[in-house]
Structure 1
Amino acid sequence: MINRYTADKKLRHDDAYTPNNEGGKRPDRATLVYSQRCREAYKETPIVLGGIEASLRRIAHYDYWSDKVRRSVLFDAKADILLFGNAERALVEVAHRLADGESVADMTNIRGTAVNLAAEPEQYTIIDSSRIEKPGKAFVPQNPYQVESNCDTNKSDTEAAAKPITIRPSRHDAASTAVRLPPFEKLNNDRILYAHASRVMHLETNPYSGRALIQRHGNRELWVNQAPIPLSTEEMDYVFGLPYARVPHPKYGKARSRPTT
């Protein structure tokens, strides 16, 4: 969507990630459209989502283009598993387990992945996100240019506005505890709950102390595993040393990936 539209939602006429910088080569919400087409062509083949869009839309999220809260992209795309963050390890593990004949439906415990479940895993202790941060009232900032005739009169209001958000850290083991976020249906019309869920998600992104997340979508559970452990220096050197072509696919002939300057 960013490649097709400006921040003012006007249509772009170019695309730096398309051969010869041509615009209009991809559909709106390409992840959803491509997933649908893949499902039509290969009904029994697992669909694995990845990339920036999948990472940013892994839980119920605000969509700028439609100005509303949408479900996790995993549900809208009807995919089997979603990879987020630095997904090198997760991608290799999924590929190897599929090659070994394992069903993608059984891959529910891979770090850096999100899956669609019928019920919450029994081996986890589920705590409510309000134990981490209690949703409060909307904060209305004061006008810094407003002249107060009597400071004492507004003292209580000023102190209330400046009161910091209280975060209560949990001592639960990250490996066996998950945090339940407010369900999609409640976030849809409650901006305070939405902000709360978004903040809790970011608080739990530390790969060493962050916990798994769970969020209800209708009669299904979105299960987001712990964030992936970063690659070591040696692993990253290996990944970046792979023989990437760094040019458009051969089908595009002599097309360039970006316009010449």
Structure 2
Amino acid sequence: MAQDVIPITDPRWRIQSAASHGPSTPLPMTRHEMDQRGWDACDIVLITGDAYVDHPSFGAALVGRWLEYLGYRVGIIAQPDPLSIATFRELGKPRLFWGITAGNLDSELANLTIMRKLRRDDPYSPGGRAGRRPRNASIIYTACARHAFKGVPVVLGGVEASLRRFAYYDYWTDRVRRSLLFDAKADIIVYGMAERAMAELAWRAWEGKPWHGIRGTAEYLNTISDLAAVKELPSYENVAAPTPDGRRAFMEMARLIEAETDPQSGGILVQRHGNRWLVAHPPAPPLATEEMDLIYSLPFTHRPHPSYGKDRIPACDMIKDSVTIHRGCYGGCAFCAIGMHQGMTISSRSQKNVLREIERMTRTPDFHGTLSDLGGPTANMYGTGCRHSRSNCRRRSCLYPELCPNMQTDPAAFTKLLQAARQVPGVKHVFVSSGIRYDLALADKSEQWLRELIAHHIGGRLKIAPEHIAERVLRAMRKPAASSYLRFLQRFRELCRDTGKPHDIVEYFISGHPGCTLGNMVELAQYLRQARIQPSQVQDFYPAPLTMAAAMYYTALDPETSQPIYVARTDREKGLQRALLLCHKPEFHRKAREALRAAGRADLIGRGKHCLVPPGKGE
């Protein structure tokens, strides 16, 4: 932990002890609930694009419970109606500030498919109904909050704001936009995991102190003359220019941002937007184990707010019997936003703390003995990490192109946790369903953890994400070589036979990633046919803001060499790649034939064993 960072367990952050409102009392969503607590006003009101589920997997609930623990009066307005300012006035005027998040999902991605069609559902809404959160939710909620009560500061947070703190490529409008801080007209952005920054920010607001210079935040200034040792990014005007020079400037910006995202070595990044400066302070250090234990021990009800009645919230149903055991991911995949949001350092909970949560779950009436998932972003990263705390390290992946020798990847801690979880009275099954890194599993030469996993902790199917098979595409993705995936498959099947457990593997693949050509997709389709793998669904590439893959998509440049790369940008190009991945399905045969002809592989159309699709009528 950086020397200038005060642990969140330090009592100075607590303005007063949090009052107890009973063991199963969620944060207030109505004036009546405030009255029951004897409150005349909230110190902080959180606005979220998700339904309010009082569970640590929901960002607003996590931040709300944390601020409550620190002594603040916190209310939540969930999915307010932008057409009714009255819904933003439900809890009255906040004394300190608004905290606004679009929710656990990017609000554009929550509303639209990659092909820009309206989604039919939203798993974070009551009944799974779509349309409960607006597009550009951070911007719209901020405008409504400003209109509801003048003069109240606005703090933006969550994944939508975090990934848009700098100028960014917006897939939905196909242009580069300003930092969300400027477009939303908020006061400050808290980026990444928010506990440290929110503790200091709320304390400063309580004490009447300015918010300047807080780690894990982005603010705007009229001048940067008082800042020392800043690193200047290309300006918004430069990176937004629709020219070759503008695209090169955008790629330079992406490389600089990526190099400065580690809390140990990252500096202050500044970016000019017109006559103002976007100032992003270094990332907040990740939580230590005792801090993680504190956060996950807060008095969550682990249920939706009672106001939803019988309306089920699908995302809650998915995680209600699961336990988060760590944060962070050091895989560094080019397309993944987890590392950019949660960081590359693994923050693990203690075994004792995890077991205490499992014991609590066994006492709930709707728990039937099965833990659906004991995991995190990458389950088998629990208890692992850099031996040198990543001091002065600039690598953006600890696993690519090969495992860093400074990494401690022994899965012993996870093995012990799984074994202990199985022994908790009332627990019948403990599954790991959040996915694993197969290259990490192969690094464990003893294979004890993998044997343990196969024998006890797979609910029929193990999830892994090779994403592709073509080496040039895997390099663009920063994924391990195909040989690693194939070695794991072979060893996994051998161990399944040895243990008498006939498990299946569910593989995830991506179509349309920058650098992936139709020829590369033909190569993947041929492998899938040979291996008798028929993906039921595939992931269409989405250029998540702040990821290197988004920069590759927008600029069509290789980040390492700055040389041009192929990018499937049109709906037709994307559709052809998707069709090859799903060519085993009759409804994709026509497009797959079109793709094969475009790739110069019409020889794969026919009824021979080597063919991918049958001929069309009259062919």
**Counterpart of 2:132?**
25
The 1-side partners of 2:204 and 2:311 are apart by 37
2:66 matched to 1:66? no
Question: What amino acid maps onto 2:186 in structure 1?
Answer: A
In the TM superposition, what whole-angstrom CA distance separates every residue of 1:65-85 from its partner, at most 9, and x where no partner exists? 000000000001100010011
The 1-side partners of 2:305 and 2:225 are apart by 42
Aligned length: 206
**Counterpart of 1:119?**
223
TM-aligned CA deviation for residue 121 of structure 1: 4.2
The 2-side partners of 1:19 and 1:40 are apart by 27
TM-aligned CA deviation for residue 99 of structure 1: 1.3
Q: Retained in 2: the 8 A contact 1:20–1:258?
A: yes
- Map 1:182-201; keep pairs closer than 5 Å: 182-189=234-241, 190-201=246-257
- Map 1:123-134; keep pairs closer than 5 Å: 123-124=227-228
Q: Retained in 2: the 8 A contact 1:87–1:112?
A: yes
The 1-side partners of 2:293 and 2:225 are apart by 36
Question: What amino acid maps onto 2:116 in structure 1?
Answer: K
**Counterpart of 1:218?**
274
In the TM superposition, what whole-angstrom CA distance separates every residue of 1:193-234 from its partner, at most 9, and x where no partner exists? 111101110100010111010000111110000011111000
Question: What amino acid maps onto 1:20 in structure 2?
Answer: G
Q: Retained in 2: the 8 A contact 1:247–1:256?
A: no
Q: Retained in 2: the 8 A contact 1:14–1:21?
A: yes
- When normalised by structure 1's length, the TM-score is 0.76
Higher relative contact order (CA 8 A, sep 6+): 1
2:186 matched to 1:75? no
Query: Secondary structure, in 3 states, of the residue corresponding to 1:2?
Result: helix
Q: Retained in 2: the 8 A contact 1:205–1:226?
A: yes
Query: Secondary structure, in 3 states, of the residue corresponding to 2:166?
Result: coil
Q: Which moved more, 1:211-220 or 1:244-253?
A: 244-253
Match of 2:144 among 37, 44, 47: 37
2:124 matched to 1:5? no
**Counterpart of 2:264?**
208
TM-aligned CA deviation for residue 252 of structure 1: 2.0
Match of 2:283 among 227, 239, 259: 227
The 2-side partners of 1:184 and 1:245 are apart by 44
Going from structure 1 to structure 2, the CA distance change for 1:121 and 1:227 (only over 3 Å counts) comes to farther
The 2-side partners of 1:74 and 1:101 are apart by 22
Query: Counting helix residues as a fraction of each chain, which structure ranks higher?
Result: 2
The 1-side partners of 2:176 and 2:138 are apart by 17
**Counterpart of 1:147?**
none
The 2-side partners of 1:40 and 1:56 are apart by 26
CA RMSD of aligned residues (A): 1.4
Query: Secondary structure, in 3 states, of the residue corresponding to 1:3?
Result: helix
Question: What amino acid maps onto 1:2 in structure 2?
Answer: L
Match of 2:198 among 91, 97, 110: 91
- Map 1:114-193; keep pairs closer than 5 Å: 114-124=218-228, 177-189=229-241, 190-193=246-249
The 1-side partners of 2:200 and 2:249 are apart by 35
The 2-side partners of 1:73 and 1:245 are apart by 33
The 2-side partners of 1:248 and 1:66 are apart by 34
Query: Secondary structure, in 3 states, of the residue corresponding to 1:62?
Result: strand
TM-aligned CA deviation for residue 35 of structure 1: 0.5
Query: Secondary structure, in 3 states, of the residue corresponding to 2:110?
Result: coil
Question: What amino acid maps onto 1:180 in structure 2?
Answer: E
In the TM superposition, what whole-angstrom CA distance separates every residue of 1:126-165 from its partner, at most 9, and x where no partner exists? xxxxxxxxxxxxxxxxxxxxxxxxxxxxxxxxxxxxxxxx
Query: Secondary structure, in 3 states, of the residue corresponding to 1:186?
Result: helix
The 2-side partners of 1:123 and 1:99 are apart by 25
Q: Retained in 2: the 8 A contact 1:4–1:24?
A: yes
TM-aligned CA deviation for residue 255 of structure 1: 2.0
The 2-side partners of 1:90 and 1:121 are apart by 24
Q: Which moved more, 1:57-66 or 1:186-195?
A: 186-195
2:314 matched to 1:258? yes
In the TM superposition, what whole-angstrom CA distance separates every residue of 1:95-146 from its partner, at most 9, and x where no partner exists? 11111223xxx2111000000101004241xxxxxxxxxxxxxxxxxxxxxx
- When normalised by structure 2's length, the TM-score is 0.33
**Identical counterparts, % of pairs:** 46
Q: Mind listing any 5+ residue stretches in structure 2 that lack a counterpart? A: 1-107, 319-619
2:286 matched to 1:244? no
Query: Which 4+ runs in 1 deviate beyond 3 A?
Result: none
Query: Secondary structure, in 3 states, of the residue corresponding to 1:54?
Result: helix
**Counterpart of 2:163?**
56
The 1-side partners of 2:302 and 2:118 are apart by 28
The 2-side partners of 1:32 and 1:245 are apart by 30
In the TM superposition, what whole-angstrom CA distance separates every residue of 1:42-91 from its partner, at most 9, and x where no partner exists? 21111000000111000000000000000000001100010011211101
Going from structure 1 to structure 2, the CA distance change for 1:117 and 1:123 (only over 3 Å counts) comes to closer
Question: What amino acid maps onto 1:51 in structure 2?
Answer: G
Question: What amino acid maps onto 2:233 in structure 1?
Answer: L
* Greater Rg over alpha carbons, structure: 2
TM-aligned CA deviation for residue 237 of structure 1: 1.0
